[in-house]
Amino acid sequence: MAGAWWSWIAAAVIAVALGAFPYTYYYSRDDVAAFPSIQQILLAGIGVGYGGSNNKTEPLRPCFPALFGFGSSMADTGNYATIYPSRTRASGQSYFAKPSNRFSDGRLLIDFWAQALNVPLLSPYLRVIGADFARGVNFACTGSTARQDSIWGSYPLSVQLDQFKAFKQASLDAGLQGSLPSKEAFEKGLYIIAIGGNDLIQEYFHKNLTVEAAQQYVPEVSQAIVRVVEELYKEGARTILVEDVYPQGCTPNILSQAAILNENLDAAGCSKPYNDNVKLHNKLLKEAILNLNTKLKDPSIIFVDTYSVRYEIIANASLYGFTEPIKACCGAGERYNFDMKSFCGWSKLIDGKVVSANSCSNPKQHVNWDGIHFTDEFNYQTMKQILTEAYFHPNFPISQICDIKDLHVANFSFWVG
């Protein structure tokens, strides 16, 4: 057993050394879709050397045999960090007590989904060493967009779909019981998609469009997401949760970079025009998801209205224990503690001075973590409200399907690091 263990470690190391693993700054869809060739090494390694007692999954059978994640940084549990290891240095302190390869001080919504449903936290698809894919995998990657033009050296949702198809086929071909998802897991698993925010952000800050000019591209985003949902359905997925986009007009990223007049701020301190674009996207996405349920046979495709939950918490922050509903916890800057030139965890020379973007001492009192993403506590409060079932469209009685676990109970069967 020890020999087999070292053999697959060696194979993975050799593959990386020979350039098989994608450490280039930007790559095409074909390049990224080829990543599963590295997965072949992982599949062989798990089956031979990593199925021993040190990596056993929990004995309790969850209501969904597996969880599959797709999306952007709001759901990324380590794919981006695998490509760019130095870019998520300040993270994880509040829950994991060490860097967690997430853009948060703790858990993301995808982590809370896993814990609520008694599934180990998802291993990122691109991670080789230490990954556990028995109950699912996460394809979400920071910078990903629903459309084809991703940002920050990432890749679009369509590539995540390609990765899923390759992973599914490789898993079924390998037939490694207990180490990889089974055919039943793919058919009866829960699929979660959380993407779309970057599509809007890139129109503002990469293409330099006004919020009004960007509105014409909003319908393309929901259309791209629906196409992937339909493809997952063709692959056998039947229970798919599609999360909407968060209130971007309430984030320091938007509020500090965009020229926003005071009259365009609402009572919560959020930008109304930017939130209006998000609400338009969410409306179109919800309509499309509800329409899909009438077109397809026996689907359970659920639109999750996270926007309403999140805005409610931000607008009434003190009721949920927050003292800072807008200002970032980790960052550098004046009004919103955010400067894209010195992002959370960075130290840079700006105008002759070294500026360090460090974490605050009380992240639990902040809604926003780094100017873009959210804190563990905010994600926890959001998930609590989602699980009341008031924000599912159509109705999704998850409490009748599953024995929902206490979200504050630590789940020690997870991958992180």
* 207 is a domain residue: yes
Strands (E), 305-417: 324-328, 347-350, 353-356, 366-368, 392-393
Respond yes or no: is residue 370 known to be catalytic: yes
* 53 is a domain residue: no
Instruction: Give the confidence band of 244 by pLDDT, cuts at 50, 70, 90.
Output: very high
pTM of the shown model: 0.84
Number of domains into which the chain is organized: 1
Q: Which of 181-185, 304-308, 406-410 shows the highest mean pLDDT?
A: 304-308
Q: Distance (Å, rounded) from C-alpha 38 to C-alpha 127?
A: 10
* 320 is a domain residue: yes
Q: What is the pLDDT of residue 124?
A: 97
Q: Tokens standing for 245? A: 């986009």
Between the alpha carbon of residue 330 and those of residues 120, 150, 192, 356, the distances in Å are 28, 25, 28, 10
Q: Would you state the torsion angle of the CA atoms of residues 158, 222, 400, 309, taken in this order, to the nearest 10 degrees? A: 120
pLDDT tens readout for residues 279-311? 999 999 999 999 999 999 988 999 999 999 999
Q: What is the pLDDT of residue 176?
A: 74
Q: What is the pLDDT of residue 334?
A: 81
Q: Running DSSP on this structure, what letter comes out for residue 57? A: P
Find the CATH number of the domain harbouring 318: 3.40.50.1110
Q: Is 2 helix (H, G, I), strand (E, B) or coil?
A: helix
Instruction: Give the confidence band of 196 by pLDDT, cuts at 50, 70, 90.
Output: very high
Q: For the ranges 159-168, 174-183, 304-313, which has the lowest average pLDDT?
A: 174-183
Respond yes or no: is residue 105 known to be catalytic: no
* 56 is a domain residue: no
* Overall average pLDDT of the 90-108 stretch: 90
Portion of the chain with pLDDT greater than 70, in percent: 82
Task: Given the residues 105, 111, 162, 370, select the one marked as catalytic.
Answer: 370
Using the Cα atoms of residue 202, residue 206, residue 209 and residue 213 in order, give the sign of their dihedral: negative
Task: Given the residues 150, 222, 373, 376, select the one marked as catalytic.
Answer: 373
* 43 is a domain residue: no
* 141 is a domain residue: yes
Q: Which domain holds residue 159?
A: 62-328+374-401
Whether the pLDDT of residue 191 is over 60: the answer is yes
Backbone angles phi, psi at 295, to 5 degrees: -85, -40
Backbone angles phi, psi at 161, to 5 degrees: -65, -45
Q: Tokens standing for 138? A: 């996460």
* 21 is a domain residue: no
Of residues 229 and 151, the one with the higher pLDDT is: 229
Task: Given the residues 72, 73, 104, 171, select the one marked as catalytic.
Answer: 73
Q: Distance (Å, rounded) from C-alpha 369 to C-alpha 282?
A: 23
* 119 is a domain residue: yes
Respond yes or no: is residue 373 known to be catalytic: yes
Q: Is 77 helix (H, G, I), strand (E, B) or coil?
A: coil
